[in-house]
Amino acid sequence: MTPHRSLSLRGQRILIVVLAGLLILGTSVFAFVGAWPVGGFAGLELLAAIGLFRWHGRTAKAGELVIVSTRTVRVIRTDGAGRRRERVMPVAWLAARIEERSGRPAALVLTGHGIREEIATDLGEAERRDLGAALQAALHRLRNPVFENAVLNRES
Protein backbone atom coordinates (compact mmCIF):
# COMPACT_ATOMS: atom_id res chain seq x y z
CA MET A 1 0.00 0.00 0.00
CA THR A 2 1.37 3.36 -0.95
CA PRO A 3 -0.13 6.79 -0.38
CA HIS A 4 -1.99 8.15 -3.38
CA ARG A 5 -0.10 10.87 -5.22
CA SER A 6 -1.84 12.73 -8.01
CA LEU A 7 1.26 14.15 -9.70
CA SER A 8 4.30 12.33 -10.99
CA LEU A 9 7.77 13.85 -10.70
CA ARG A 10 7.50 15.05 -14.30
CA GLY A 11 4.10 16.61 -13.58
CA GLN A 12 5.51 18.39 -10.55
CA ARG A 13 8.33 19.85 -12.62
CA ILE A 14 5.92 21.07 -15.29
CA LEU A 15 3.71 22.67 -12.63
CA ILE A 16 6.71 24.45 -11.04
CA VAL A 17 7.81 25.79 -14.45
CA VAL A 18 4.28 27.07 -15.17
CA LEU A 19 4.09 28.63 -11.71
CA ALA A 20 7.49 30.29 -12.19
CA GLY A 21 6.37 31.66 -15.56
CA LEU A 22 3.18 33.10 -14.08
CA LEU A 23 5.09 34.64 -11.17
CA ILE A 24 7.62 36.22 -13.53
CA LEU A 25 4.83 37.61 -15.68
CA GLY A 26 2.97 39.02 -12.67
CA THR A 27 6.15 40.37 -11.08
CA SER A 28 7.18 42.14 -14.29
CA VAL A 29 3.80 43.91 -14.44
CA PHE A 30 4.20 45.09 -10.84
CA ALA A 31 7.83 46.12 -11.47
CA PHE A 32 6.71 48.11 -14.51
CA VAL A 33 4.31 50.19 -12.38
CA GLY A 34 6.94 50.71 -9.68
CA ALA A 35 6.02 48.02 -7.16
CA TRP A 36 9.34 46.20 -7.50
CA PRO A 37 9.32 44.68 -3.95
CA VAL A 38 6.62 42.29 -5.15
CA GLY A 39 9.40 40.39 -6.95
CA GLY A 40 11.02 39.36 -3.66
CA PHE A 41 7.75 38.03 -2.28
CA ALA A 42 7.07 36.18 -5.53
CA GLY A 43 10.53 34.60 -5.26
CA LEU A 44 9.78 33.50 -1.69
CA GLU A 45 6.47 32.07 -2.86
CA LEU A 46 8.23 30.08 -5.59
CA LEU A 47 10.83 28.76 -3.10
CA ALA A 48 8.03 27.72 -0.72
CA ALA A 49 6.24 25.90 -3.55
CA ILE A 50 9.43 24.08 -4.56
CA GLY A 51 10.08 23.10 -0.93
CA LEU A 52 6.56 21.76 -0.52
CA PHE A 53 6.78 19.75 -3.75
CA ARG A 54 10.09 18.24 -2.59
CA TRP A 55 8.55 17.29 0.77
CA HIS A 56 5.54 15.83 -1.05
CA GLY A 57 7.81 13.79 -3.32
CA ARG A 58 9.80 12.48 -0.37
CA THR A 59 6.67 11.28 1.42
CA ALA A 60 5.62 9.47 -1.76
CA LYS A 61 8.37 6.93 -1.06
CA ALA A 62 6.47 5.78 2.03
CA GLY A 63 4.59 2.51 1.89
CA GLU A 64 3.29 -0.46 3.78
CA LEU A 65 3.47 -4.13 2.84
CA VAL A 66 1.37 -6.82 4.53
CA ILE A 67 2.54 -10.40 3.89
CA VAL A 68 0.39 -13.29 5.09
CA SER A 69 2.11 -16.69 5.29
CA THR A 70 1.05 -19.95 6.89
CA ARG A 71 2.62 -19.05 10.25
CA THR A 72 3.01 -15.28 10.39
CA VAL A 73 1.70 -11.95 9.21
CA ARG A 74 4.49 -9.50 8.47
CA VAL A 75 3.83 -5.77 8.30
CA ILE A 76 6.72 -3.92 6.66
CA ARG A 77 6.56 -0.13 6.76
CA THR A 78 8.85 2.17 4.80
CA ASP A 79 8.91 5.86 5.71
CA GLY A 80 9.61 8.76 3.36
CA ALA A 81 13.34 8.59 4.03
CA GLY A 82 13.49 4.91 3.04
CA ARG A 83 13.85 3.51 6.57
CA ARG A 84 12.09 0.16 7.03
CA ARG A 85 10.33 -1.15 10.11
CA GLU A 86 9.00 -4.69 10.31
CA ARG A 87 6.57 -6.31 12.70
CA VAL A 88 6.05 -10.08 12.66
CA MET A 89 2.91 -11.50 14.27
CA PRO A 90 1.89 -15.17 14.63
CA VAL A 91 -1.26 -16.18 12.77
CA ALA A 92 -2.57 -18.49 15.52
CA TRP A 93 -4.38 -15.84 17.60
CA LEU A 94 -4.43 -12.98 15.12
CA ALA A 95 -7.65 -11.30 13.99
CA ALA A 96 -8.28 -8.44 11.59
CA ARG A 97 -10.88 -6.05 12.97
CA ILE A 98 -12.48 -2.84 11.80
CA GLU A 99 -12.72 -0.44 14.74
CA GLU A 100 -15.32 2.28 14.42
CA ARG A 101 -14.23 5.65 15.80
CA SER A 102 -16.59 8.55 16.32
CA GLY A 103 -15.82 11.51 14.09
CA ARG A 104 -12.99 9.71 12.28
CA PRO A 105 -12.73 6.99 9.64
CA ALA A 106 -12.76 3.40 10.84
CA ALA A 107 -9.40 1.80 11.61
CA LEU A 108 -8.15 -1.60 10.44
CA VAL A 109 -6.40 -3.25 13.37
CA LEU A 110 -4.64 -6.59 13.71
CA THR A 111 -5.20 -7.87 17.25
CA GLY A 112 -4.47 -10.97 19.22
CA HIS A 113 -2.75 -12.20 22.38
CA GLY A 114 -1.21 -8.90 23.47
CA ILE A 115 -0.77 -7.57 19.94
CA ARG A 116 -2.43 -4.48 18.51
CA GLU A 117 -1.21 -3.08 15.21
CA GLU A 118 -3.12 -0.55 13.12
CA ILE A 119 -2.49 -0.98 9.41
CA ALA A 120 -3.57 0.62 6.12
CA THR A 121 -3.69 4.14 7.54
CA ASP A 122 -2.99 5.65 4.11
CA LEU A 123 -5.94 3.91 2.44
CA GLY A 124 -9.42 5.34 2.14
CA GLU A 125 -12.14 3.90 4.32
CA ALA A 126 -13.67 1.74 1.57
CA GLU A 127 -10.30 0.23 0.65
CA ARG A 128 -9.51 -0.31 4.32
CA ARG A 129 -12.77 -2.22 4.80
CA ASP A 130 -12.08 -4.32 1.68
CA LEU A 131 -8.58 -5.15 2.91
CA GLY A 132 -9.99 -6.01 6.34
CA ALA A 133 -12.48 -8.45 4.81
CA ALA A 134 -9.74 -10.03 2.67
CA LEU A 135 -7.44 -10.40 5.70
CA GLN A 136 -10.24 -11.91 7.79
CA ALA A 137 -10.96 -14.42 5.02
CA ALA A 138 -7.26 -15.29 4.62
CA LEU A 139 -6.78 -15.81 8.36
CA HIS A 140 -9.94 -17.95 8.47
CA ARG A 141 -8.66 -20.12 5.58
CA LEU A 142 -5.30 -20.56 7.35
CA ARG A 143 -6.92 -21.70 10.59
CA ASN A 144 -9.58 -23.86 8.89
CA PRO A 145 -7.89 -25.64 5.98
CA VAL A 146 -9.87 -27.83 3.59
CA PHE A 147 -8.08 -31.06 2.78
CA GLU A 148 -8.63 -33.07 -0.35
CA ASN A 149 -9.07 -36.75 0.44
CA ALA A 150 -9.43 -39.00 -2.58
CA VAL A 151 -10.73 -41.88 -0.48
CA LEU A 152 -13.52 -39.84 1.11
CA ASN A 153 -14.42 -38.05 -2.11
CA ARG A 154 -14.60 -41.27 -4.20
CA GLU A 155 -18.10 -42.33 -5.03
CA SER A 156 -18.89 -45.90 -3.99
DSSP for the chain reads -----SS-HHHHHHHHHHHHHHHHHHHHHHHHTT-TTHHHHHHHHHHHHHHHHHHHHHHTT-EEEEEE-SSEEEEEEE-TTS-EEEEEEESTT-EEEEEEETTEEEEEEEEETTEEEEE-TTS-HHHHHHHHHHHHHHHHHHHS-----HHHHS--
Please tell me which residue, 82 or 51, carries the higher pLDDT value: 51
Taking residues 127-141, report their average pLDDT: 93
Per-residue pLDDT tens for 9-29?
A: 788 889 999 999 999 999 999
Reported as half-sphere exposure (CB side, CA atoms, 13 A), residue 46 has a value of: 19
pLDDT at residue 1 is higher than 70: no
Which amino acid is present at 99?
A: E
> For the segment 82-126, what is each residue's pLDDT rounded down to a tens digit?
899 999 999 988 999 999 988 888 999 999 988 999 999 888 889
- What's the pLDDT score for residue 100? 92
Q: What is the mean pLDDT of residues 25-50?
A: 92
How high is the pLDDT of residue 156? Answer: 53
Q: Are 118 and 109 in contact (CB under 8 A)?
A: yes
- Is residue 82 within 8 Å of 72, Cβ to Cβ? no
Report pTM: 0.65
